[in-house]
Chains A and B, each alone.
Chain A
Amino acid sequence: MSSTDHHHTHSAKAAPDPDHHESGASGSQPAKSSGWGVFLFFMIGFVGSLISGWILFPELLYSKKSQPIDFNHSVHLDLVDDGCNSCHFFEEDGSFTGMPDLSKCVDCHESAQTDDPEEIKFVDEYVTPGIEVPWLNHSKQPDCVFFSHSAHVMGAGMSCESCHGDIGTSEHTRVYEENRLTGYSRDIWGHSISRLGKPEPGDPLPMKMNDCAKCHEEETGHKGACFQCHK
């Protein structure tokens, strides 16, 4: 019984409401001005979300880290004989060694050769105790990706700079921006959040799957089968 009573009272209450609204709408003056209010409200929200999406979110998305040692590529490139190959070389089976391990560095840096604080730090913290430097890799790909350096460098005759930018002539390491969600470097997506336009000359190229496919389509005429780049 009590529930039906409640329903009755509810409908009785709701019934006069439309009348109330009608009387409110008959005064047309306030409705016009609220239209501009709504538009302004919309624009503030719209611009606000654009700013948060395009400026604040990318700032929040990437954490900034610096390399363990501020490595000077430029100095090294002047001293070695074989350019990039001197430290980043191929094994005889065609695999690419990537970042050199400590044993390669020790060839020259058994003790500090200059009074550069970074070099002294490198010798004291890594060379003497024999700890590998935990370099942050700007080009690290997920483990489902197969990438052959020898196919690109030997087969297609591409230079290191064509993908990695002019890192070889840099005097300081760049800030490593890590995507907080995926854990990969910002270089993979590319610096531009919209991914519109081309990277600045000397900047590394973005390395997402679409970027690979785009270049493959331009250079070889087709994107290739899945297994060409996946494993």
Chain B
Amino acid sequence: MKEKNDYEHSKRYGMVIDLDKCTGCGSCMIGCYTENNVPFKADETNKLDSINWIQVYKLTNGKPYPETEISYLPMPCMQCDGEGKLGHSPCVSVCPAVATDYDYSTGIVSQIYTRCFGCRYCMAACPYHARKFNWWDPVWPADMEKYLSPDVSPRMRGVVEKCSFCFHRYQLARNKAYYENRQTEELGEDEYQTACAEACPTGAITFGDLNNKSHAVYQLKNSPNAFRLLERLETNPKVYYLSSKKWVRRQGDNYLANEEPGLIKKIDKQHH
């Protein structure tokens, strides 16, 4: 379990979501549901009971017509690096069962359903509502069980689940690399993509290794329009958002009236 932490040289898979391109269509959610065997209910309007690994939120600038503006914000698990970027993610540090851990080789936060006993500390600790609790055993419509993906184990009642950045796809990509006698450390960008990134019709979601200069996310995350959610908490999310609209960037954190979005990034740079 105690791996040597090589923050700069290991892989850190992350996502950059361009909110200017997001139309709020929800394809990412559907892609995720089918890819990860996420259970759904006949009535999904009860949000306390519904489960999703990526959820599209609607943001509005709150102004009356004709100044009203809308933006959509898809939210998967942020795969936080934690304070000081040492894998001290909020959920990992509170789990009493070691049912969730931080993988130093990919930066992905796991969730092991068979290990989880459902105390939901992680849900309380997560500032992003990324984690969902199974109040019921999943019930699939007739014959749909046959369509479940064998690469993702279905969850049972009483455990927490969350987005895994489609880790099974990473495993399968590594499988292939091993078979072809390639270095598994040098997977191509297109070999490992999440289901939501592939499902997005406008290409708003870009996925890749944030530490790899040849991956698109490496440049995108440095855009002046880039921001992360609740950066002030220093959870160090690996999901970045891009928006040309300042009011959208303002909603990424709780800014005071006299504060400007992007301020935290500047403070961060002064510190380091």
Which DSSP category, helix, strand, loop or mixed, fits chain A's interface?
loop
Tally of chain A residues near chain B (CB < 8 A)? 23
Q: Is the CB of B3 within 8 A of A155?
A: no
CB distance from B1 to the nearest CB of A (A): 5
Q: Is the CB of B2 within 8 A of A222?
A: yes
Q: Pick from A95, A143, A150, A225: contact of B153, CB below 8 A.
A: A143
**Across-interface contacts of A93 in B (CB, < 8 A):** 172, 175-176, 179
Which of B99, B103, B114, B178 counts the most A-chain CB atoms under 10 A from its CB? B178
Residue of A nearest to B101 (CB): A226
Summed over the interface, the residue pairs from A and B with CB atoms below 8 Å come to a total of 83
**Across-interface contacts of B189 in A (CB, < 8 A):** none
Residue of B nearest to A96 (CB): B175
Q: Is the CB of B113 within 8 A of A146?
A: no
Check A92 for interface membership: any CB of B closer than 8 A: yes
Q: Is the CB of A225 within 8 A of B103?
A: yes
**Across-interface contacts of B154 in A (CB, < 8 A):** 143
Which of A95, A225, A227 counts the most B-chain CB atoms under 10 A from its CB? A227
Check B104 for interface membership: any CB of A closer than 8 A: yes
Contact with A along B75-106 (1 / 0, CB 8 A): 00000000000000000000000111111111
**Across-interface contacts of B103 in A (CB, < 8 A):** 225-228
CB contacts under 8 Å to B, within A142-178, are 142-144, 146, 148, 150-151, 154-155
Check B184 for interface membership: any CB of A closer than 8 A: yes
**Across-interface contacts of A13 in B (CB, < 8 A):** none
Residue of A nearest to B109 (CB): A227
CB contacts under 8 Å to B, within A118-162, are 142-144, 146, 148, 150-151, 154-155
CB contacts under 8 Å to A, within B148-203, are 150-154, 164, 167-168, 171-172, 174-181, 184
**Across-interface contacts of B184 in A (CB, < 8 A):** 151, 155
Known contacts A222-B2, A225-B103; A150 and B175 CB within 8 A of each other: yes
Known contacts A143-B150, A146-B168, A227-B167; A151 and B114 CB within 8 A of each other: no
Known contacts A155-B184, A225-B101, A231-B167; A94 and B112 CB within 8 A of each other: no
CB distance from B225 to the nearest CB of A (A): 32
CB contacts under 8 Å to B, within A179-231, are 222-228, 230-231
Which of B3, B110, B171 counts the most A-chain CB atoms under 10 A from its CB? B171
Interface size range of chain B in the complex = 35 or more
**Across-interface contacts of A57 in B (CB, < 8 A):** none
Residue of B nearest to A222 (CB): B3
Q: Is the CB of B3 within 8 A of A94?
A: no
**Across-interface contacts of B180 in A (CB, < 8 A):** 94
Q: Is the CB of A225 within 8 A of B102?
A: yes
Q: How far is the CA of A151 from the CA of B154 in the complex (A)?
A: 24
Q: Is the CB of A150 within 8 A of B114?
A: no
Check A90 for interface membership: any CB of B closer than 8 A: yes
Check B122 for interface membership: any CB of A closer than 8 A: no
Q: How far is the CA of A230 from the CA of B153 in the complex (A)?
A: 9
Contact with A along B99-136 (1 / 0, CB 8 A): 11111111010101111000000000000000000000
Q: How far is the CA of A222 from the CA of B110 in the complex (A)?
A: 17
Which of A146, A148, A230 counts the most B-chain CB atoms under 10 A from its CB? A230
**Across-interface contacts of B102 in A (CB, < 8 A):** 225
Q: How far is the CA of A92 from the CA of B177 in the complex (A)?
A: 10
Residue of A nearest to B179 (CB): A94
Could you list 6 examples of A-B contacts with CB < 8 Å?
A: A93-B176, A93-B179, A155-B178, A226-B101, A226-B112, A230-B153
